Amino acid sequence: MHISAKFDGGNIKVIDAEDERNIALEIVKDHQSDFYQWFHFKLANARPTEHVLNIVNAGNSAYADGWPGYRAVASYDRVYWFRVPTEFDGEKLIISFTPEYDSVYFAYFAPYSYERHQDFLHRAQLEANCQLQVLGETLDGREISVLKIGQAGEGKRVVWLTARQHPGETMAEWFMEGFIDRLIDKADGVARSLLDHAVFYLVPNMNPDGSVRGHLRTNAAGVNLNREWADPSMAKSPEVYLVRKKMLEVGVDLHLDVHGDESIPVNFVDGCEGIPSYDQRQKTLEDNFKALLLAITPEFQDQRGYDKDAPGTADLSIATNWVGERFKCLALTIEMPFKDHDELPDDRMGWSDQRSRVLGRDFLTAIRHVVGKLR
């Protein structure tokens, strides 16, 4: 038996792998950070007997309350990811699995590789209406890329989607793949009509360094990008600095920031009700957008989510709070679960890459219905 994580997005440390029925593993912290929860590793030379894989430091991970009810995902071909028997005893996350093939991958959620990210950006750029722009470099020297889709124009709105500030939240980039695939689909009337009313700036991966490094929540310097929006710097958070600079150049009429949540087993959005300038107009925009999503798909709900910020108490270092305040626009954080959307559970898959892509497509419909009322 051989266990490794030396690959794009890999994260595990082998403590003891002598006995396949009692394997001891640890998740490695984000570099220069105490955050850890994302795991992604490969078991090779596996015999067709039950393997018990114990992640022995799960109890002290960043969001340990996310482990009860969670099931790990596994894949033989790195394309199809399925849930496997998993339990949490308060300290260890215990994965019990009998491999059918020699080699099997395990992860916290379906991984989204840097190569797939590059493939997707370069496939999208082939569309006539799409420009692939590099805003600058991350601390490890990777590109911060934005897809500009559509053209600016008189009366047209500027819509921004950003995703994966937190690299372990890979569902965010799956969501973006679904959204962008639909937006560039020339056979899709909703998308074509939407592009008559708006130009889109889309950042499928805000944190490529953290993604490749197998981080949960931070960039190469151990910085949580979603706490940098009030005062980003090229030294600590070039990812935020460069995107925010572009936003200030072209403006923002709607911003969606796409994330995943470790604990709450539903899809939801989080508004910016605590920002100083929040008013009835912004509340109406939020309420209408959520009502549309509820009408469009049962994969969305608005009963469960984060506690609301009291008036004037919003943390303006958080992306959608800073954008909502700076641009007086509709700005929402989208949250998808690492577990399942319990309003419409799928026992085999839980929440998945495919369902994230479909949800991205459904958000495009909601944007189509509000784009004329954003200002």
Q: Which residues of 263-273 are buried (b: 16+ CB within 10 A; e: fewer)?
A: ebbbbbbbbbb
**Nearer CB in complex with ligand GEM: 104/332:** 332
Question: Does residue number 290 form part of the binding site for Zn ion (CB under 5 A)?
Answer: no
How near is the Cβ of 187 to ligand GEM at its closest, in Å?
33
Q: Taking a C-beta distance cutoff of 8 angstroms, is the pair 149, 129 a contact?
A: yes
Residue partners of 19: CB distance under 8 A and separation at least 6: none
Angle between helices 353-370 and 171-183 (to 10 degrees): 50
- Answer whether 353's CB lies under 8 Å from 171's CB: yes
- Is 182 exposed, middle or buried (CB count within 10 Å of its CB: 0-12, 13-18, 19+)? buried
Q: How far is the CB of 158 from ligand GEM (least distance, A)?
A: 22
Alpha helices in 170-260 (DSSP H): 171-183, 189-194, 208-213, 238-250
The nearest distance, CB 240 to ligand GEM, in angstroms, is: 12
Size of interface with Zn ion, in residues (CB under 5 A): 3
C-alpha 221/C-alpha 252 separation (Å) is 28
Our finding on whether 259 is near Zn ion (CB under 5 A) is yes
Q: Is 51 in the site for Zn ion (CB under 5 A)?
A: no
Residue among 228 and 253 whose Cβ is closer to Zn ion: 228
Closer of 51 and 259 to ligand GEM (Cβ): 259
Nearer to ligand GEM, 75 or 218 (CB): 218
- The whole-angstrom separation of Cα 150 and Cα 148 is 7
- Comparison of 23 and 216: residue with beta carbon closer to Zn ion: 216
Shortest reach from residue 13's CB to Zn ion, in Å: 24
Residues that bind ligand GEM (CB under 6 A): 166, 226, 259, 261, 270, 306, 309, 318, 333, 335
Question: Which of 117, 166, 215, 361 forms a contact with Zn ion (CB under 5 A)?
Answer: 166
Using alpha carbons, list the distances in angstroms from residue 53 to 84, 145, 198, 305: 12, 37, 49, 32
Least gap, CB of 208 to ligand GEM (angstroms): 18
Question: Which of ligand GEM, Zn ion, none does 207 bind, CB closer than 5 to 8 A by kind?
Answer: none
The residue written with tokens 């100083």 in the block is: 276
Q: Which residues contact 57 (CB under 8 A, 6 or more apart)?
A: 26, 27, 36
In the complex, residue closest to ligand GEM by CB: 259
Is 173 among the residues known to form the active site?
A: no
Q: Which entry of ligand GEM, Zn ion, none binds 309, CB below 5 to 8 A by partner kind? A: ligand GEM
Name the site residues for Zn ion (rule: CB under 5 A): 166, 169, 259
Active site residues: 335
